[in-house]
Amino acid sequence: MPSQTVRTRFAPSPTGFLHIGSARTALFSWAFARRHRGVFVLRIEDTDRERSTDASERGVLEGLEWLGLHWDEGPYRQSERSERYADAVERLLASGRAYRCTCTAEDLEARKQATIAAGGKWTYDGRCRDAAHGPACGPHTVRLRVEPDDALRWDDAVFGPLGQAGAEIGDRIVRRSDGTALYNLAVVVDDIDMRITHVIRGDDHQINTAFQIALYRALGAELPVFAHLPLLVGESGKKLSKRRDPVSVQQFRDDGYLPEAMCSWLARLGWSHGDDEVFTLDELASLFDLDAVGRSAGQANFGKLDWQNQQFLARLDGEELFARVRPFLEAATGRAVDDAPGLRALLELLRERSRTLADMAAQARWLVVADDQLELDAKAVAKHWKPDAKPLLAALARALAEVEPWTAAAIEGAFEAVRAANGSPGMGKLAQPVRVALTGSAASPGIFETVAVLPRERAVARIAAAAERIA
Ligand code: GLU
């Protein structure tokens, strides 16, 4: 028998942004499809019309696109598929797998309370099961017939054998009295229509699976493989909270994390491959499998994300690094950053000293701003621009004007010569005032390299200006 094409799906509700937990689900579904040369389907579960707007959908898609999780089909939208759901309910009614129920909400509630008061557990008591209500029975819902001894089991690709007996589920509603489909019906009809072979989703949906299996059977469809992913928890071990934890993929993007780093970090939250820690999307696409997904909750350790980000910053080639930092630099300086001379060299020096692109931009800002617009850190000025620095800076500016070639090594020679000619003060006595003069702050990469990335005239101008400002 030819093996079936793997088809997975990601089925987000349009929440306006991509939650990191959902992003991990999407990543695993995507990677599984890629690994098996299958198809990755995107479906928007937008039946809650009030919360579903174009903008709320766009927010989710934007997050996926940024991560590089491209889908092959869709987006399908549940809001555009109500006829398919109506059809399925009609088929269930026609085959006798579902029936009309005229119990009112008040009646049901009263019976439920009575059952609970008597110490029982409520599932629908079957009152309308054999009533054979026809279409003209007045306001009614439609319920799926679930036999008490139905074994609604599945072999979960992550958790192993799981399941519930029909008695625990009862005859549940699939169509409301207003004619709209219930969520579980929509999901199953979609997954059947979209020929999904592997349903990979968050563990919070495990409670739906037994009933969904009853629906597959009633609709005469084969079951997909179910894989429930353990939830993500925060560093405290508690469920991630929107209030307490950074959970939006877009927020990480805006903070200057690389999408490659985000994917590698997400992959490691619950999946492993030997001792490896860093994975590109291509690697995930060839290595990912469900066998290596763990059963315990994935702990979102944000320090590890910083570490991943540094790994990927180190891997970018120079042009790419420039392209990625550029928008952050433009935001930080409020000016267009085309090709400031020295900028690329400075970014090389900053690669290992930066946590994020935003952080790198903040450390490169000094080179991009005009010489007379350099912001000076008042503390650094007070500490390092003391009167004894004045002649040192003036002498260095003169020496640098002559230095040949304009390299870190030759610049170091000029520093040494100025110190030797001025009573041999410690290197810090010269280097720190120069740092403040060039960058406005007391921290930068190595001083000779820092001087060398600036074009000579600008370095000399900044140092000479500092000498003049010191009283
Ligand atoms: N729409 C659901 C969610 O956003 C996913 C449902 C499913 O994967 O079956 O959590």
Task: Compute, in angstroms, the gap from residue 365 CA to the centroid of ligand 1.
Answer: 43
Cα dist. 50→15, 78, 79, 231, 324 in Å?
A: 11, 14, 12, 27, 37
For residue 373, give the 3-state DSSP assignment.
helix
The pLDDT tens digits of the residues spanning 442-467 come to 999 999 999 999 999 999 999 999 99
> Which listed residue (242, 379, 383, 386) is catalytic?
242
Q: What is the pLDDT of residues 298-313, one digit of tens each?
A: 899 999 999 999 999 9
Helix (H) or strand (E) holding 208: helix 206-218
Contacts of 141 (CB under 8 A, 6+ apart): 100, 101, 103, 173, 175, 176, 177
* pLDDT tens digits, 157-190: 999 999 999 999 999 999 999 999 999 999 999 9
Distance 187 CA to ligand 1 centre (A): 8
432 lines ligand 1 (CB under 6 A): no
Residue 242 bears catalytic tag: yes
pLDDT of residue 173: 98
Contact 464, 426 (CB under 8 A): no
C-alpha–C-alpha distance, residues 400 and 439, integer Å = 17
Closest residue CA from atom 4 of ligand 1: 12
- Judge whether 238 and 300 are in contact, CB under 8 Å: no
Q: What is the pLDDT of residue 193?
A: 98
Is ligand 1 within 6 A of the CB of residue 11? yes
Q: Please state the φ and ψ torsions of residue 86, each to the nearest 5 degrees.
A: -60, -45
Q: What's the pLDDT at 243?
A: 81
Tell me the mean pLDDT in the region 87-98: 98
Which residue has the CA at smallest separation from atom 5 of ligand 1? 11
Reply yes or no on whether the pLDDT at 2 is more than 60.
no
Q: Tell me the percentage of the chain whose pLDDT exceeds 70.
A: 99
Give the tens place of pLDDT for each residue, 321-356. 999 999 999 999 998 998 788 999 999 999 999 999
- What average pLDDT does the chain have? 96
38 lines ligand 1 (CB under 6 A): no
State whether the beta carbon of 21 lies less than 6 angstroms from ligand 1: no
For 320, the enclosing helix (H) or strand (E) is: helix 318-333
For residue 9 and ligand 1, the question of a CB distance below 6 A is answered with no
Closest Cα to residue 301, out of 241, 374, 235, 246?
235
Instruction: State pLDDT tens for residues 6-65.
Output: 999 999 999 899 999 999 999 999 999 999 999 999 999 998 777 778 889 999 999 999
- Mean pLDDT over 88-92 rounds to 98
Whether the predicted pLDDT of 319 surpasses 80:
yes
CB 467 within 8 A of CB 393: yes
Is pLDDT at 1 greater than 50 in this prediction? no
Question: What's 200's DSSP letter?
Answer: E
